[in-house]
A = this chain, B = another copy of it.
Amino acid sequence: MDFSCTEEQTLLRNMVQSFVSDNYDFDTRMKIVRSEDGMDRAIWQQFAELGLLAAPFSEEMGGLDGGPVETMVIMEELGRGLVVEPYLPTIVLCGGILNRHGSAAQKESHLPGIIAGENIWALAFNEPQGRFNLADIVTSARAEGDSYVLNGAKAVVLGGPWADKLIVSARISGNQRDRDGVGLFIVDKSADGVSTQDYPTVDGGRASEVTLENVTVSGDAMIGDASSGLDILEEAVDYGIAAICAEAIGQMKMLNDATVEYCRTRKQFGVPIGSFQVLQHRMVDMFMEYEQSVSMTYMVNMKLDEDAAARAKAAAGAKVQIGKSGRFVGQEAVQLHGGMGMTEELNVGHFFKRLTMIDTQFGNVDHHLKRFAAA
């Protein structure tokens, strides 16, 4: 039993932390969010130079062979900075799928571009009717000779506006919500028949509604096969969950520290409001939610490589914890900051919004409680 980081992991944390604090303060972040593009391509290049984009990939592909703990450390620090650049969709989700399940050819043709920061990827797995059920897929992939023809609509594709490549889940066979018959396809966003509607998201990111109209991809574009597509997707989402849990604990810590500091200095009735016992106990509850979330984040990241059932239970449990705790900490941080917490000017509200969306992302508390109970 060991919960400590290796020296390398600590160095990695320090490196990301100082990069974020030097290059991504809150004003900078808000400028990026409000810019036309909504992300900073130069920052992304710097991520590449720092090796962040190489972290989880195997050395033979030019990666650094990092595991879940490395991703956890990076995501926690990016979370503290409310970084909007698409580390999650490009590196954790799509990069992870390619790294674990791509063919040799797929890895060789795609991973170097990701590691170099040349390509941005997005995972198009939600559908408008599907809510949080990954198997609820109407988008079809019709085999035609060696190719597949994709038709359908994918919803709230995070990072979609920035992506040049998509991984799309589509139904090759079976009925809507069947586990079998789901394929994962690499699709060029510039391919004929792909159209997107782009928009900003609540938490400062960007997303797209993606429409596929007779988009033809070659058989080589499929990752895994039709019997493994859903398994691969579920696994990717669990890696995504572990990553945003880490992001969330970074953000809860920021909010807790900011709230304690605010309550120590803000005076009402002639005393710091932090001297009121009700607010003290509220902050204790926030602290405990954070600590419990840290525990669950460590837990899930250490269980990602167990069998699918154990992994699913770990991810579901962690997501429930983070969903509840993140909402609670966010709401109370705003409450204790009073009117100031409600303003766009302070970072508090932005952490709150991101934590709110983290609950929704990849399925909310209700969804994962059911998944946990069934696992």
Contact = CB atoms under 8 A, between A and B. Distances in A.
Interface of A: 276-278, 281
Nearest to A281: B278
Nearest to A279: B277
A267 to B, nearest CB: 17
A271 to B, nearest CB: 12
5 contacts: A276-B277, A277-B277, A277-B278, A278-B278, A278-B281
The 5 A-B residue pairs with the shortest CB-CB distance, nearest first, are A277-B277, A277-B278, A278-B281, A278-B278, A276-B277
A276 B278 CA distance: 9
Contacts of A277: 276-278
Nearest to A275: B277
A281 B277 CA distance: 10
Nearest to A278: B277
A120 to B, nearest CB: 46
Interface SS majority for chain A: helix
Give how many copies assemble into the complex. Answer: 2
A240 to B, nearest CB: 34
A175 to B, nearest CB: 30
Contacts of A276: 277
Contacts of A278: 277-278, 281
A277 B281 CA distance: 10
A278 B281 CA distance: 8
A189 B97 CA distance: 73
A276 to B, nearest CB: 6
Nearest to A280: B278
A227 B295 CA distance: 58
Contacts of A281: 278
A278 B276 CA distance: 9
A276 B281 CA distance: 12
A281 B278 CA distance: 8
A295 to B, nearest CB: 26
A219 to B, nearest CB: 50
A277 B277 CA distance: 6
A277 B276 CA distance: 7
A283 B277 CA distance: 14
A213 to B, nearest CB: 42
A69 to B, nearest CB: 39
A16 to B, nearest CB: 39
A303 to B, nearest CB: 32
A79 to B, nearest CB: 31
A233 B103 CA distance: 68
A278 B275 CA distance: 12
A285 to B, nearest CB: 11
A277 B278 CA distance: 6
A286 to B, nearest CB: 15
A277 B271 CA distance: 15
